Structure 1
C-alpha cells in the first residue's frame, strides 16, 4: 500500500499531511509549489510547480494538493481527508452514516462560509507586505466571519468541545485548517472563546506539531 501526497507544506496539503500523521499512514511527499510563487515558472531550472507538465498529468486542474493512493488519484484537500478517514477508519473517522453526513456538511461549511474571508485575513493582516494590505478587505472579512464564528462557537459548546461526535475527528482537521487562516484577527477569537480553546487544543496534537515542523522547515 502506497500513498503519495503532491504539494508543498505552505498550501492546503497541510490538511492531508496532518491527517496522515494522525492515522499513522506512511506516505511519499512529492514537493509541488504554486506557479504564482515563482519569478518565472517557465525557466529551465524552475522546480516542479502547479503548471508543470508532469504535475498536470496528475491534476489537470493545476492545483495542489492531489494524492495517488495505489493508483487511485484524488484532488481537493477536504475531500481527500474524508476519503482517507473513511478508508483507514479508527476514532478519527465517522462512526456511521450520520457522522459521514456531518463530516461532509462541516467540510462544505468551512469551504463556503469561511475560507475566502479567512484567507483574506491571513493575506491582509500578516502575509502581504504593508503596502499591499487593504483595510477595507479586512473590515469586510471580519464582518462576514462574525456569524460563522458564532455558529461554530455554539456547536463546539454543545458538542463537548469538538465539531462532531464529542471527540476529535477528521471534521476537526478540515474545519480547523480553514479557521486557522483567520488567526491574525484575534478579535474574532476573543468573541468566540470556544473556537479559540478548540483551535489551541488542536494545535497541541503531536500530529499537527509534526506537520507544522515540516512546514517551518520548508522555504518560504
Structure 2
C-alpha cells in the first residue's frame, strides 16, 4: 500500500486526488511541513512525501507523474508527442501559476517576518492574471489536453483553488466553469473531504 505524508490542504492534495482518480489504496499521515518526521524523509521539510515499497519520492508533480505512468492512466504514454505536450502544459502551470502563488505565500507567512515584502503581491496578482489568460487560450476541450482528464488538470485545478484561497482574482467565466467541473468529480470530492 502507498503511504502519503503531508497535510491534505498543501500540495499533498494533488497526490491524494491522483490516487483517488486511480482507485488506489493508500495510507495518509497528515504530518505538517517541517515536522521532524517529514524532515527525516525530505531534508527541505516540504510535503508531500510519498512512499512505495520502502522507496521515497518527493515533489508532488514527480509523484503524480510516477503514479500515472505506473498505472497507465491520467497521462499520455511516455515518449509520445501527446506526452510532451502534456508535460509542457503541466510545467507551464507550475512555472506560471504555482511559482507565483508560492512566492505570495512565502511573503505572507513562510519567510521570517523581517524578510517579507507584502507589497510584491500586487505585482504577482497582475502576473498571475496575465499568465492565466495565456493558459486559458491553450485549452483544447473540456480538459487542458482536450478530451482526456490528466495530471495536468490536477495541477491546474489545484493552482486555481490555491489562487481563490489566496485572494488572487479569477475573472474568466470559462476558467471558473472549468474549475467548477473539476471540483464536481467524485475523486475530487473524496479528496476535498479529507482536507477539512
TM-score (norm 2): 0.84
**CA displacement, residues 118-168 of structure 1 (integer Å, 9 cap, x when unaligned):** 34667999xxxxxxxx87334212211122111121112xx1121114221
Q: Which has the larger radius of gyration?
A: 1
Question: What is the CA-CA distance between 1:10 and the residue it aligns to?
Answer: 2.1
How far, CA to CA, are the matches of 2:136 and 2:146 in structure 1?
Answer: 15
Equivalent residue for 1:182, pick from 163, 177, 181: 163
RMSD: 2.5
Match status 1:197 vs 2:165: no
Structure 1 partner of 2:147:
166
Equivalent position SS for 1:29? strand
How far, CA to CA, are the matches of 2:20 and 2:192 in structure 1?
Answer: 11
Segments of 5+ residues of structure 1 without an aligned counterpart are 36-48, 126-133
Question: What is the CA-CA distance between 1:20 and the residue it aligns to?
Answer: 0.3
Equivalent position SS for 2:28? strand
Paired residues of 2:129 and 2:170 also in contact (CA < 8 A): no
Question: What is the CA-CA distance between 1:176 and the residue it aligns to?
Answer: 1.5
Match status 1:20 vs 2:14: no
Segments of 5+ residues of structure 2 without an aligned counterpart are 109-116
How far, CA to CA, are the matches of 1:103 and 1:28 in structure 2?
Answer: 28
**CA displacement, residues 51-94 of structure 1 (integer Å, 9 cap, x when unaligned):** x1x4333222321111111123210001111110011113x222
